[in-house]
Amino acid sequence: MNKLQTYLTEAGVPAELHAHALASLQSARKPALIRFWLGLTAPIVWLFIAALLPRKAEQLPRWLRWYDNNISINGDRSDWALIDGQHVRMPAPDEDVVHDDGQHVSYWPPYSPRSFLPRWNFNGIRNRCGWLAKKWAQPLESIAYRAGLPVLDGEWGNPDIGRQVMGIRVACAGGVWQLVRTSRLWGGTKTENYGFEVLNANTIDRFATCTWTAWSWKGPKK
């Protein structure tokens, strides 16, 4: 029994679903790892991209698409608008704006989100190779949604896991699976995340991006 199957068993997923769950989870491994290793070069590559891009740019040219973003190279904090019944993210302004909740549009305030440092921070550090994440995602357009979130076919384990709550959570929607496990390590929290991010899908982003995180650690919450 491999590690993922052990986790499925511990979460209480019925044995007859294991084969389907494992096939879905493991299909995310190769694309997620390609994105991970390519993402390691993004901080360096984006030093050059951010220096050469015109301020009006929203996406990268096709030959640089692997380093592009699935939202916008200018960040994901601009306003939304309802156009023809669809929620559409508006282009980022050419100056930093502070929302009512105190959040800056820019990823390097007070500079314009279309300038060098915010673009490098968002694309080279925080959201690396986001275009690939969407390209290799599993579509969730045909499933039902409630309150903006996908209606799951099944969920097992502890839905409250997180930085303070240890355990395993398994979710499935539209035949697409995700497994998340948290455990204590060195006084902090180790997180494992496998499969496709069903739990992050919503009515705007109707897809589940691939993930294969065997090791992510955060220190004790202060």
Q: Kindly report, residue by residue over 61-72, the tens digit of the pLDDT.
A: 999 999 999 889
User: Is residue 133 a contact partner of residue 35, using CB atoms and an 8 Å limit?
Assistant: yes
| 3 state SS of 25 | helix
User: Is residue 212 a contact partner of residue 28, using CB atoms and an 8 Å limit?
Assistant: yes
**What's the rounded Cα separation, in Å, for the pair 206 and 137?**
10
For 98-147, the pLDDT digits (tens) are 988 889 999 999 999 999 999 999 999 988 898 998 899 999 988 888 88
Main-chain dihedrals φ then ψ at residue 108, nearest 5 degrees: -155, 70
For 25-60, the pLDDT digits (tens) are 999 999 999 999 999 999 999 999 999 999 999 999
Q: Give the type of residue at 159.
A: P
The set of residues, in sequence order, having a beta carbon less than 8 Å from that of 24 and lying 6+ positions away, is 172, 175, 176, 177, 195, 196
Q: What is the pTM of this model?
A: 0.80
